[in-house]
C-alpha cells in the first residue's frame, strides 16, 4: 500500500496522475492494482474525500517486483508531486471475497507466526448496491466513531475507486489482538455485521488481513 500526500496546488496534477498511471500499471508487473482516492471514512460519502492524499494498492509476485516499482514512471511521478509518502509492505494472511471479480490476494493460509506476532493490517472493500446506499450510510457513523477509539489502532484510512458506491478501509494495528477486538467484540461493528446479510448492502465484498512486514514514511506528518 502506497499513500502519497500532495499540497493543495498539486491536487489537479494528482487527479491527472490517477488517469495517466492506469496505462503504466497495466504494463507493469503487478498482478493486481487499484488507484484509490482516500478519505476519513466517517460516512463513506463524497464529503469524506481527502484531496490531499492518494493511494495505490498493488499485489506483486515477488519482493523484487515490488522494489522495481520504485524506479517506475508512476513512482517517480508521484515522488515529484508529493510532500510525503507512506509505504506499507504486507503479506496476506487471510482473504475472503472478490474485488472487481477477482481474488487479488489468492487463498493465503494463516500461519501461527503471522497471526500472533507483530503489527497487522486489514483491508475491507465493498461495492454497495445503489438502492441500499442510504441504509448503509446511516449504519456507518457509529462504527467509524468506535473504530477510532479502539486501543491498538495505528491508522485508519477510507479508500475508494469512486466517491460513492465503491468503498473500503485500510487499517493498521499494533497486533492481531487489537484487530480481533474490533472485528468480533465491539458492539457497533458486530451489529453492522449482523445486519449485512439481511440488508443486502453489498453487490461484492472483500475482507483481507495481512502481516505487516515494513512501514516507511509518514501519513499526515507522522509515522503510524
187 has a pLDDT exceeding 50: no
Structural domain spans, the chain? 2-217
Beta strands in 16-83 (DSSP E): 32-39, 49-59
CATH number of the domain at 2-217, out of 3.40.50.300, 3.90.1150.10, 3.30.70.100, 3.10.580.10? 3.30.70.100
- Closest CA relative to residue 125, chosen from 156, 147, 158: 158
Mean pLDDT rounded to a whole number for the chain: 83
pLDDT, tens only, 7-40: 999 999 999 999 999 999 999 999 999 999 998 7
What percent helix, strand, coil does the chain show, rounded to 5?
A: 40, 35, 25
Quick one: cell of 167? Answer: 468503498
186 has a pLDDT exceeding 50: no
Quick one: cell of 148? Answer: 477510532
Cβ–Cβ < 8 Å for 204, 97: yes
Cα(10)–Cα(85) distance, rounded to whole angstroms? 15
Quick one: cell of 93? Answer: 494472511
pLDDT, tens only, 46-68: 667 899 999 999 999 999 999 99
What does pTM read for this prediction?
0.85
Cβ–Cβ < 8 Å for 161, 44: no
Amino acid at each position: 500500500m502506497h499513500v502519497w500526500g500532495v499540497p493543495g496546488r498539486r491536487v489537479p496534477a494528482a487527479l491527472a496522475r490517477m488517469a495517466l498511471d492506469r496505462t503504466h500499471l497495466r504494463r507493469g508487473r503487478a498482478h493486481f492494482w487499484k488507484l484509490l482516492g482516500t478519505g476519513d471514512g466517517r460516512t463513506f460519502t463524497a464529503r469524506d474525500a481527502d484531496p490531499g492524499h492518494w493511494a495505490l494498492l498493488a499485489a506483486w509476485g515477488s519482493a523484487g517486483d515490488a522494489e522495481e516499482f520504485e524506479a517506475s514512471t508512476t513512482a517517480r511521478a508521484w515522488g515529484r508531486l508529493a510532500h510525503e509518502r507512506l509505504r506499507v509492505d504486507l503479506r496476506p494472511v487471510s482473504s475472503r471475497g472478490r474485488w472487481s471479480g477477482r481474488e487479488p490476494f489468492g487463498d493465503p493460509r494463516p500461519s501461527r507466526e503471522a497471526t500472533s506476532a507483530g503489527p497487522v493490517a486489514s483491508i475491507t472493500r465493498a461495492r454497495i448496491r445503489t438502492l441500499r446506499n442510504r441504509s448503509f450510510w446511516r449504519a456507518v457513523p457509529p462504527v467509524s466513531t468506535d473504530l477510532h477509539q479502539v486501543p491498538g489502532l495505528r491508522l485508519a484510512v477510507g479508500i475508494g475507486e469512486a466517491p460513492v458506491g465503491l468503498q473500503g478501509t485500510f487499517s493498521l494495528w499494533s497486533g492481531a489482538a487489537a484487530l480481533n477486538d474490533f472485528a468480533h467484540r465491539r458492539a457497533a461493528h458486530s451489529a453492522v455485521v449482523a445486519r449485512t446479510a439481511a440488508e443486502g448492502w453489498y453487490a461484492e465484498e472483500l475482507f483481507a488481513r495481512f502481516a505487516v512486514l515494513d512501514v516507511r514514511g509518514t501519513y499526515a506528518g507522522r509515522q503510524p
